[in-house]
Chains A and B, each alone.
Chain A
């Protein structure tokens, strides 16, 4: 996939034709500089990748272009004209649409309402033109190949992948000349990634300039024309993608070469610690039986909506099993709440960190303490010193880039927020660790580190159930792979048998007919 759809001559475009150019932009938060003197420009009809480690300043740059933050120094030029965005509204007006990393939808509004929030079509009387709005919403979603989405549904009930699509539809509804996407694929499964990339290509063909952030290398090489690399808020380089290869890009990002091979298995599997016997939850997952051993990493593959997350939620007590048995350490257990699951030594790193994983308005230490309160007590009170110490440990262990344990989580970069979720749950010292998209939004270096850590934990006897939509990760990390499809387990592969083809086929085959029989 290393060829581009459109090959274009690389030549300087005249400044007045540049949809966006940044000149010496700097930004500080509370006196700490997170972006320093960054300059680059975006050309019409190009996909411009923005790359860098977690906390490098990518989202901050994007928020400046989207009018959410104001630069302290430097200027933004639109078609050669200096502009100052006081608010996102100004950026909209200048034709800039943004899909942010942390989804900003309103859960209690419907799909159509979310798409048109702030840009509702009006009737002659100035009231909302519901008919036009619903029709346009339908049209937009169809053009995104998402005809299956119900436009009258509340957003709260949708999966992350679907919410992502709504964000994109929302950006498209503005008819933007510049589309900025901050890790749009982090939450998507492979098939959806392909769909999204097709959409991006067609927008590029229409002349839209696209800024694209992703930590997934293959996407960059398949999609981007140019790439700008940031490191610690500094501009490292802007290059044509055809001129760089992956190791070069990685070393520009992290400033050193890193080992990206998946760590090898060490130690042997122990006894079965978690067993599911014919477990079902309503009609969502049906007759799930599986065994997880100590020291094993079990991969759960499947498309979005295949029931992987739902299986995890059932084991974790969010949606207690409606039939079947969950056996832990040979003892049948009734897991009726997350609290019960946690006390049995089960940890669940959820897929949606913003909603389920973190309280973003609270500090790092408050978040880490929340799942560990019983351990962090002195008498009947929470021991503030222990809480801080625990947070420091997590910050160190995962290399979380933060000012300190008391920094608010919402001020962290996306990847660093994900590390806080991991830190919070590993602090519970679980015996069974369920990870739902554990490396979502995590940069290449940190991803390799998390993979090493998972191996190490497994080597120490932890049992890990990993859900991932990144097939290479599933194949690279798992000792065994289970494939789910329409709420059932449809295949089991050991390490040798788990090839991309075999697993991919099991994931996508239609089983609906057998189900009916």
Chain B
């Protein structure tokens, strides 16, 4: 697949995003202001981080439904480690990140070791991790974090939200890994034809294990940012996150059947969704209307993608 072919979907998406931005800007003068755009960037960071890892997952032909639950679970653990166990906050953060990473590893282990389809495996852990979160929190929320902690979710560096820097760095790193390294090649190969990948000496299981583990890690990272942004910890945090994430990835042109997709596409998909949500809200469209529009855009993108597939012949 040459770069130009791969990027065709992304090109269309970029054009679509620009049109959407232009239209939304004309609908409301509050939309196209630096302040609003940066704030939107802040809001999409958690979904964005998880979507980066989800792109890898879906490119292998898998899916991870448990990311929202991992976010909820690690958010709770962060609070419990700090408040109930009395750990210093940095240690509590590290502990929460470790637990999220482990939760992702468990997903990968179940999927590779017992050949459970990812949909089933992560549907199970979606319930499991959320259940754990609720059990541990006992419906109490944790508040009163020290002031410095809020930098992750509310701080700024050079006028740009802190978490947007993290998202930016993570985007570059994952784009390089997926696009330019042997690991990325392995990821595509597994999604396109797992048997042939294995017969070529690709470490299929190890690759998948890394990817699901990474998904766990970024979900935990998103949890820390989330807690810092909303200043409180609750067990229902991240509910439904997986749907936003998957929507962004698929809108970005990643094939749900695996073997195809790019980080640039995912980022564009996320921007488009966030812009629509915000822009439509500012122009007075009700929440339900926004969801309908996003649904229509998604269907449109998939149809365009399918059309290109046909044109490629063979």
Q: Do A and B come from one complex?
A: yes
A374 contacts partner chain B, Cβ-Cβ < 8 Å:
yes
Q: Which of A341, A356, A362 is in CB contact (< 8 Å) with B201?
A: A341
A205 contacts partner chain B, Cβ-Cβ < 8 Å:
no
Interface residues of B in 162-182 (CB under 8 A from A): 176, 180-182
Is A362's CB under 8 angstroms from B192's CB?
Answer: yes
B286 contacts partner chain A, Cβ-Cβ < 8 Å:
no
Residue of B nearest to A355 (CB): B195
Is A406's CB under 8 angstroms from B196's CB?
Answer: no
Complex Cα distance A315/B311, Å?
Answer: 42
B33 contacts partner chain A, Cβ-Cβ < 8 Å:
no
Complex Cα distance A16/B226, Å?
Answer: 76
Interface residues of A in 346-369 (CB under 8 A from B): 348, 350, 355-363, 366, 369
CB 8 Å contact bits of B238-250 with A (1 = contact, 0 = none): 0000000000000
Assess A29 versus B259: contact at CB under 8 Å? Given A358-B196, A366-B185: no
Complex Cα distance A377/B180, Å?
Answer: 10
Assess A411 versus B196: contact at CB under 8 Å? Given A342-B201, A370-B202, A382-B185: no
Q: How far is the CB of B206 from chain A (nearest CB, A)?
A: 9
Is B193's CB under 8 angstroms from A338's CB?
Answer: no
Q: Which of A337, A381, A424 is in CB contact (< 8 Å) with B181?
A: A381
Q: Which residues of A sit under 8 angstroms from B197, Cβ to Cβ?
A: 359, 370
Complex Cα distance A29/B312, Å?
Answer: 10
Is A424's CB under 8 angstroms from B200's CB?
Answer: yes
Chain B: interface residue total (CB-CB under 8 A): 26
A125 contacts partner chain B, Cβ-Cβ < 8 Å:
no
Q: Which residues of B sit under 8 angstroms from A410, Cβ to Cβ?
A: 314
Interface residues of B in 217-250 (CB under 8 A from A): none
Q: How far is the CB of A311 from chain B (nearest CB, A)?
A: 16
Do most interface residues of chain A lie in helix, strand or loop, or is the interface mixed? mixed
Q: How far is the CB of B214 from chain A (nearest CB, A)?
A: 17
Q: Which residues of B sit under 8 angstroms from A366, Cβ to Cβ?
A: 1, 185, 188-189
Interface residues of A in 460-503 (CB under 8 A from B): none
Interface residues of A in 421-467 (CB under 8 A from B): 424
Is A350's CB under 8 angstroms from B199's CB?
Answer: yes
Is B189's CB under 8 angstroms from A362's CB?
Answer: yes
Is A361's CB under 8 angstroms from B192's CB?
Answer: yes
Is B188's CB under 8 angstroms from A338's CB?
Answer: no
Complex Cα distance A157/B270, Å?
Answer: 41
Assess A359 versus B2: contact at CB under 8 Å? Given A338-B201, A374-B182: no
Is A359's CB under 8 angstroms from B196's CB?
Answer: yes
CB 8 Å contact bits of B18-48 with A (1 = contact, 0 = none): 0000000000000000000000000000000
Complex Cα distance A424/B182, Å?
Answer: 16
Q: Which residues of B sit under 8 angstroms from A357, Cβ to Cβ?
A: 196, 199
Complex Cα distance A255/B304, Å?
Answer: 45
Q: Which residues of B sit under 8 angstroms from A29, Cβ to Cβ?
A: 313
Assess A380 versus B181: contact at CB under 8 Å? Given A29-B313, A355-B193, A362-B189: yes
Q: How far is the CB of A274 from chain B (nearest CB, A)?
A: 17
Q: Which residues of A sit under 8 angstroms from B201, Cβ to Cβ?
A: 337-339, 341-343, 371
Q: Which residues of A sit under 8 angstroms from B195, Cβ to Cβ?
A: 355-356
Is B182's CB under 8 angstroms from A318's CB?
Answer: no
Complex Cα distance A339/B199, Å?
Answer: 8
A: contact size bracket: 35 or more
Q: Which residues of B sit under 8 angstroms from A362, Cβ to Cβ?
A: 1, 188-189, 192, 259
Q: Which residues of A sit under 8 angstroms from B186, Cβ to Cβ?
A: 373
Complex Cα distance A362/B200, Å?
Answer: 14
Complex Cα distance A358/B194, Å?
Answer: 10
Q: Which residues of A sit under 8 angstroms from B192, Cβ to Cβ?
A: 359, 361-362
Q: Which residues of A sit under 8 angstroms from B193, Cβ to Cβ?
A: 355, 358-361
Q: How far is the CB of B181 from chain A (nearest CB, A)?
A: 6
Q: How far is the CB of A22 from chain B (nearest CB, A)?
A: 21
Complex Cα distance A366/B179, Å?
Answer: 12
Is B313's CB under 8 angstroms from A318's CB?
Answer: no
Highest count of chain B CB atoms <10 Å: which of A343, A357, A369, A370:
A370
Is B200's CB under 8 angstroms from A371's CB?
Answer: yes
Residue of A nearest to B180 (CB): A381
Assess A356 versus B196: contact at CB under 8 Å? Given A341-B201, A361-B259: yes
A408 contacts partner chain B, Cβ-Cβ < 8 Å:
yes
Residue of B nearest to A377 (CB): B182
Q: Which of B2, B185, B312, B314 is in CB contact (< 8 Å) with A373?
A: B185
A30 contacts partner chain B, Cβ-Cβ < 8 Å:
yes
Is A363's CB under 8 angstroms from B181's CB?
Answer: no
Highest count of chain A CB atoms <10 Å: which of B186, B193, B197:
B193
Q: Which residues of A sit under 8 angstroms from B140, Cβ to Cβ?
A: none
Interface residues of A in 307-326 (CB under 8 A from B): 318
Assess A381 versus B176: contact at CB under 8 Å? Given A356-B199, A359-B197, A362-B1: yes
Complex Cα distance A360/B312, Å?
Answer: 13
Q: Which residues of B sit under 8 angstroms from A381, Cβ to Cβ?
A: 176, 180-181
Q: Which residues of B sit under 8 angstroms from A370, Cβ to Cβ?
A: 185, 189, 196-197, 200, 202
Complex Cα distance A361/B186, Å?
Answer: 14
Highest count of chain B CB atoms <10 Å: which of A359, A360, A366, A410:
A359
Complex Cα distance A358/B189, Å?
Answer: 10
Is A382's CB under 8 angstroms from B180's CB?
Answer: yes
Q: How far is the CB of A84 from chain B (nearest CB, A)?
A: 19
Complex Cα distance A363/B188, Å?
Answer: 12
Highest count of chain B CB atoms <10 Å: which of A318, A348, A371, A382:
A382
Is A382's CB under 8 angstroms from B181's CB?
Answer: yes
CB 8 Å contact bits of B256-281 with A (1 = contact, 0 = none): 00010000000000000000000000
CB 8 Å contact bits of B278-314 with A (1 = contact, 0 = none): 0000000000000000000000000000000000111
Residue of B nearest to A343 (CB): B201
Assess A359 versus B189: contact at CB under 8 Å? Given A374-B182, A381-B180: yes
Assess A30 versus B200: contact at CB under 8 Å? Given A369-B185, A382-B185, A406-B2: no
Complex Cα distance A350/B199, Å?
Answer: 8
Additional A-B contact list (19), CB under 8 Å, known A373-B185, A373-B186: A318-B199, A337-B203, A338-B198, A338-B200, A342-B201, A350-B199, A355-B195, A356-B195, A357-B196, A358-B196, A361-B259, A366-B1, A366-B189, A373-B182, A377-B182, A408-B1, A408-B314, A411-B313, A411-B314
List 20 contacting pairs A-B, 8 Å CB cutoff, sorted by A: A338-B200, A355-B196, A356-B195, A357-B196, A357-B199, A359-B193, A359-B196, A359-B259, A362-B259, A366-B1, A366-B185, A366-B188, A369-B185, A371-B200, A371-B201, A373-B182, A374-B182, A382-B185, A406-B2, A408-B312
Chain A residues with a Cβ under 8 A of chain B: 29-30, 318, 337-339, 341-343, 348, 350, 355-363, 366, 369-371, 373-374, 377, 380-382, 406, 408, 410-411, 424
